[in-house]
Structure 1
Amino acid sequence: MARDEQVAETEGGGKKKTFIIIGAAVAAVVILGIVAFMVMGKGDKKEAGKEGAKTEAKAEGGHGTASAGEGGGASRMLALEPFIVNIYDGQELRYLKVKVEMEMAAPMAKTEIDERLAPIRDGILVLLSAKTLHDIQDAQGKNQLKEEILLTVNKLIPPGKVAKVYFTDFVVQ
């Protein structure tokens, strides 16, 4: 009889092990699902953060300095996709990666820029490709490049729609 009891305990222990393994697998799947959900959800949070920053910029712009005809003084930033071009440094070709953001003079200017985005990007690409490393290596060269980009954009849309040009990323490699 002792032998029968020992076999019953072993079978019961095997069932317990099976349940533990299944429980661990289910827990692992649930944890992986939560991690995947959180990683996928981060893109939405980044976008929400950008929208929150735009809202803060609107709030800061309306501190009683704007007249009623200016739409509250809220300026809008428009980030363009990064530009990657080859530039010559005197000895060899190098890569220039520039991320440009434009400050709109009026909120409705964004739609005009969106409608002319391809010619604007083309003009900026041509301008950047014509530069050498010597042209852009110091602060004065970068500031001149900003002015040239502003002029290029203002040739393609009605002047005054873009107030300023900013570099948010500038890498030469």
Structure 2
Amino acid sequence: MAEKKKDEQEGGKKGGGKLPLIIAAVVLLAAGVGAAAYFLGAKGAPGAVGADVARASSMPSDAIGPMVDVEPFIVNILDNDGTRYLKAALTLEAETPAGRQEIIERMPQIRDAILLVAGNKTFDELRDLQGKLQLRAELLGRVNEIMKRDRIRRIYFTEFVVQ
């Protein structure tokens, strides 16, 4: 009977020795799944990591990408005191020459998105620097949703008048 208790205690110790191994295996598995999700899910497309690496190696981060001008537009903006207008022109910087071509092909969709986003702004939002930067960030996100094969790196306001 004493031997049986001794075996049970040793068995408990042996089972307890497996717990750190199980925890380590779960942590490694979670890290592997997370890494796979990151690399396979980057930019929303399978295999996009290779494209990102190719872009990164072909163009330094401080290099200027291909540019496409967006024709000037005038849009009504929201205001309680009367009718206000925004007249603006933009230049879009693509990441690659192929991205420049995609911008040109999708220009009607891009202009539509720009007009809808800008038309929902108020005079107070666009009056100061913070509002302009916020508009730029919103436009960048919206235009990049439209782009399917490439991305917009930066948006530049080349004309911006609020009246």
Shift of 1:74: 5.3
Matched, 1:107 2:83: no
Give secondary structure in 2 for the equivalent of 1:135.
helix
Of 102, 106, 131, which residue of structure 2 is paired with 1:116? 106
Structure 1 residues 58-95: Cα deviation after superposition (integer angstroms, max 9, x where no partner): xxxxxxxxx99416855111110012101123210111
Structure 2 equivalent of residue 167 of structure 1:
157
Instruction: Output the TM-score relative to the length of structure 2.
Output: 0.60
Of 70, 75, 91, which residue of structure 1 is paired with 2:65? 75
Contact 1:105 1:161 in 2 (8 A): yes
Root mean square deviation, CA, Å: 2.1
Q: Percent identity?
A: 41
Q: Which runs of 4+ in 1 moved over 4 A?
A: 71-74
Structure 2: tracts of 5 or more residues without a match: 1-54
Written as runs of structure 1 = structure 2, the 5 A alignment for 1:10-25 is: none
Written as runs of structure 1 = structure 2, the 5 A alignment for 1:1-173 is: 69-70=57-58, 73=63, 75-158=65-148, 161-173=151-163
Match of 2:77, as an amino acid? I
Structure 1: tracts of 5 or more residues without a match: 1-66
Instruction: Output the TM-score relative to the length of structure 1.
Output: 0.57
